[in-house]
Chains A and B, each alone.
Chain A
Amino acid sequence: MTLTTAVLSAVALILFFVNRKENGKQVEGLKIGAKEMWQCLPLILGAFVLAGMIEVLIPGEFVRDWLSAEAGFKGIVLGTLGGLLLAMGPYAAFPIIASVLASGAGLGTVVALIASWSLLGLSKAPFESSFFGLKFFVYKSILSLPFCLAAGLIAHWIELLLR
């Protein structure tokens, strides 16, 4: 965690100086970041509480049978379905995904969940269908589905190899 914070801080510093050199908008960038954080804070805190509750409520047996590495393809399919239904932005979805991970879900399930949330998430449906038509949304979703399952399967194999 400390290393990650250090790396992110270095990235933030580099971007700050790049903006200072390129466009002089580094302070504007800080303001935008602060504003976005202020706007998202209630959502993030709410999602933390939700994630905490999910973590203590998910039955161990369910995780073992359906979401863990041992669950295999079942977990990947369930992860893909979960991502589809997780119709919310990253600030809300990520803590929930983290709670599924913390409860003991396998890597395949978690990767399928993230891939499916990003590609198939139903929150995109109103935008995609209004800008490009319902048919486009359906075709794109059909095209996306095998990618989510494949990503989950690859992650599952990686987990098995790393054991």
Chain B
Amino acid sequence: MRKSLEVIAVSVLLLVLVAVILGGWNLVLQGLKSAGNTAIKSALMLVVSFIVIGQIQVLLSRERMDSWLGKYSGIKGIAISAIVGGLIPGGPYVYYPFARSFTEKGLPAYILIAFLFGKHVYDFSRIPMEITLIDPQIALIRNLITLPIPIIAGLLAEYLLKNRSVANLFSEGEI
């Protein structure tokens, strides 16, 4: 978070400088006005989005997610893993260690792929932010278009890696 803030701060400074050179302070003011408008327009939605995010986090515990994985195989297992990936709340500090634990659980490698693609593509707790900060229509179209990606990626991994487990894959040194 701190690093992102630093990147944003440096980028803002750079762009303000460019704007001053290209169009003077008037251009900077235009940019700030646009930022202010966006902030005002999305303020209420942001508050509601964070309420949704908080409620999702307490509803979906890691234990609950855990119990859904490994119950099914094949396309059913892929679909469930992708959905669990989308449901698991939290950032990379949470879901990468969780995914790494698949090694001890003896889960097939395609389940790991479906899980990671599910987290990256679906991430249901991110949707309120996508709707609020980008655009509801774009968010809908994007989510519909990318919906099959984790399933296709899981099926491809199942075809390529057969039934090799995550542990097996890493111990063979193939990956």
Interface residues of A (CB under 8 A from B): 1, 3-5, 8-9, 11-12, 15-16, 18-19, 22-23, 25-26, 28-34, 36-37, 39-40, 42-57, 87-92, 94-95, 97-98, 101, 107, 110-111, 114-115, 118-119, 123-124, 127-128, 131-133, 135-136, 139-140, 143-144, 147, 151, 154-155, 158
Contact = CB atoms under 8 A, between A and B. Distances in A.
Contacts of A18: 55, 59
B92 to A, nearest CB: 4
B58 A19 contact: yes
Interface residues of B, number: 76
12 contacts: A4-B136, A18-B59, A23-B58, A25-B59, A29-B55, A46-B5, A91-B4, A94-B133, A95-B133, A98-B133, A115-B142, A118-B146
A36 B15 contact: no
Contact of B33 (A4, A28, A52, A54): A52
A111 B129 contact: no
B54 interface: yes
Contacts of A46: 5, 8-9, 12
Given A15-B59, A36-B53, A89-B4, 11 more contacts: A5-B48, A9-B48, A23-B59, A29-B55, A45-B39, A48-B35, A101-B138, A118-B120, A118-B123, A131-B99, A151-B142
A138 B20 CA distance: 40
